[in-house]
């Protein structure tokens, strides 16, 4: 999505917890990658992996990521599976990925690696309902998050797993991984297989300097290298920015917007899942 030079990579009572208080709003057993013996912890040091430029993920080892599609099967954005306290799956993506206000106009393909290759363990999810954040703005991309209720619940297995929902704030310098099937360069071709990139999360003060007047710390976060070169890109919108905490993978950010892809001094911007946690809780629980 393009708007005023911005490239985007791709209702409800709000109550707040005490600052920095850990509140768990999802099911136990989240954040697992069963096909990796160490749950993929080693990838947090794989700093050369990237989407722009292209390093392939180990096939089928991100069981919470899904391709968010039109009902005709055209890839629009990324998305992430989560579970509520009762163990019911929901799908999280970016609000800016939504152009039709009917849940039936979309579907998700999960448990996949290759965009066009056979994925024998993949499934198609259809939706009964969707909720966009009531304060989402398609001008500023504030509160860029949407949640879909599934028509039917999939079985949890090695290929279908929920990410944990961030229950503590990020910190500047914390490592993170973003994954998706987006373009390999600005305006380039879409990835044929799932790619991933390691990116350090930047302090809010740095994000505000890089995007003066546009970065809103109450619901946004940013991540990237000062020299650029690693980033999400078009078609990655709505997908996950994962952090690895206490042996689990957490959905900490939702790919939202940025200027160009992997440009120096222009970190990617994400919806801040921790700061949006109370709204998420109100929708899924």
* Residue among 26, 144, 204, 236 flagged as catalytic: 144
Q: What is the enclosing helix (H) or strand (E) of 280?
A: helix 277-284
Residue 192 has, within 13 A of its CA and on its CB side, a CA count of 3
Q: Is 158 a catalytic site residue?
A: no
Q: Which of 64, 79, 237, 256 is catalytic?
A: 237
User: Which residue of the set 64, 67, 79, 96 is catalytic?
Assistant: 96
144 given a catalytic annotation? yes
Locate the DSSP E strands across the chain.
2-3, 6-7, 65-70, 75-83, 89-93, 106-110, 123-132, 146-150, 164-165, 175-180, 195-200, 220-223, 240-245, 248-257, 268-272
What is the DSSP annotation of 96-136? GG--SS-GGGEEEEES-SBSSS--TT-EEEEEEEEEE-TT-
Q: Indicate if 64 belongs to the active site.
A: no
User: Which residue in 188, 199, 175, 200 sits closest to 233, CA to CA?
Assistant: 188
By annotation, the residues acting in catalysis are 96, 144, 237
């Amino acid at each position: 999505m393009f708007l005023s030079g911005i490239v985007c990579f791709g209702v409800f009572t709000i109550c707040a917890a005490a600052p920095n208080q850990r509140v768990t709003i999802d099911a136990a057993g989240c954040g697992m990658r069963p096909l990796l013996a160490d749950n993929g912890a080693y990838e947090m040091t794989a700093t050369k992996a990237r989407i722009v430029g292209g390093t392939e993920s180990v096939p089928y080892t991100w069981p919470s990521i899904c391709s968010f599609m039109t009902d005709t099967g055209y890839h629009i954005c990324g998305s992430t599976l989560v579970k509520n306290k009762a163990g019911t799956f929901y799908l999280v993506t970016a609000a800016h990925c939504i152009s039709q206000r009917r849940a039936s106009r979309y579907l998700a393909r999960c448990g996949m690696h290759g965009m066009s290759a056979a994925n024998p363990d993949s499934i198609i999810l259809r939706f009964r309902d969707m909720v966009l954040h009531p304060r989402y703005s398609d001008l500023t991309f504030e509160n860029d998050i949407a949640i879909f209720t599934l028509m039917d619940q999939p079985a949890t297995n090695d290929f279908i797993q929920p990410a944990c929902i961030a229950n503590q704030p990020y910190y500047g310098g914390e490592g993170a991984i973003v994954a998706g099937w987006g373009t390999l360069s600005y305006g380039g071709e879409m990835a044929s297989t799932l790619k991933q990139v390691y990116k350090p999360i930047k302090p809010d003060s740095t994000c505000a300097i890089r995007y003066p007047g546009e970065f809103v710390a109450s619901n946004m976060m940013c991540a990237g290298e000062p020299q650029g070169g690693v980033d999400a890109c078009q078609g990655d919108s709505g997908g996950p920015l994962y952090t690895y905490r206490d042996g689990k993978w957490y959905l900490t950010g939702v790919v939202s917007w940025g200027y160009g892809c992997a440009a120096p001094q222009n970190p990617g911007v994400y919806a801040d899942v921790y700061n949006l946690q109370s709204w998420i809780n109100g929708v899924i629980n």
